[in-house]
Chain A
Amino acid sequence: EIVMTQSPATLSVSPGERTTLSCRASQSVSSNVAWYQHKPGQGPRLLIYAASTRATGIPARFSGSGSGTEFTLTISSLQSEDFAVYYCQQYNNWPLTFGQGTKVEIK
């Protein structure tokens, strides 16, 4: 099973700031990584797939990069609606696996 490790567990950020979330795979997953935003009481929302492709309707302030084992999600200027938990997911191998999440909270 491929283990996805996200860091940090929590990020305290002020609105308008730029922030970067990291995700590391225990073995190469090529570019088969997706990122999701999850808010309480809702289903997760797809942000990024294929490591760097924004999903339909996702604002340009969200960007993804990486390949192999190292991946990042960057939010260029945090808006109030961006405070949430973010998960990476690899889909290169079964079983599909998620990182443990990074909570982005208001500083």
Chain B
Amino acid sequence: EVHLLESGGGLVQPGESLRLSCEASGFTFSSSALSWVRQAPGKGLEWVSALSANVISIHYADSVKGRFTISRDNSKNTLYLQMNSLRAEDTAVYYCAKRSAGEEFFDYWGQGILVTVSS
């Protein structure tokens, strides 16, 4: 059974940093592309960043480009999102999502982790 578990969320002040982790199990992590998707309070889903299995293809939404960095550690079956220079508008539930083989839609999602940016 596929399982994605996010961690590392919490309350931070504007300008601070936070690193999210997504621990995966139940599939061949090293062969899978993954993404981060977020949902601000009362809003819809917003794709944030994507990382291919071979780490060659990396994409970011314009809203986070230059501030967020996606990475992975295949030895730990873990996806990361380093978030720097956080803003109030980054407040959201962040989901880790596994890309379906070959296409950029998502067949499995984690339950999400809340990040709150507030002074």
Binding site for B on A (CB under 8 A): 1, 32, 34, 36, 38, 41-46, 49-50, 55-56, 87, 89, 91, 94-101
Contacts and interface: CB of A to CB of B under 8 A. Distances in A.
Contact of B50 (A32, A50, A96, A98): A96
Chain B interface size, as a band, is 20 to 34
Contacts of B103: 32, 49-50, 91
Contacts, number: 61
Contacts of B4: 43
A41 B110 CA distance: 10
B61 A95 contact: yes
Contacts of A36: 45, 106
Given A32-B103, A43-B111, A44-B109, A97 B44 contact: no
A9 to B, nearest CB: 10
10 contacts: A1-B62, A32-B103, A42-B111, A49-B103, A89-B45, A89-B47, A95-B59, A95-B61, A96-B50, A97-B47
A101 B104 contact: no
Interface in B100-119: 100, 103-112
Given A43-B111, A55-B107, A49 B100 contact: yes
A33 B103 CA distance: 10
Interface of B: 4, 35, 43-47, 50, 59, 61-62, 95, 97, 100, 103-112
Contact of B112 (A43, A94, A97, A100): A43
Contacts of A56: 107
Contact of B105 (A38, A42, A46, A100): A46
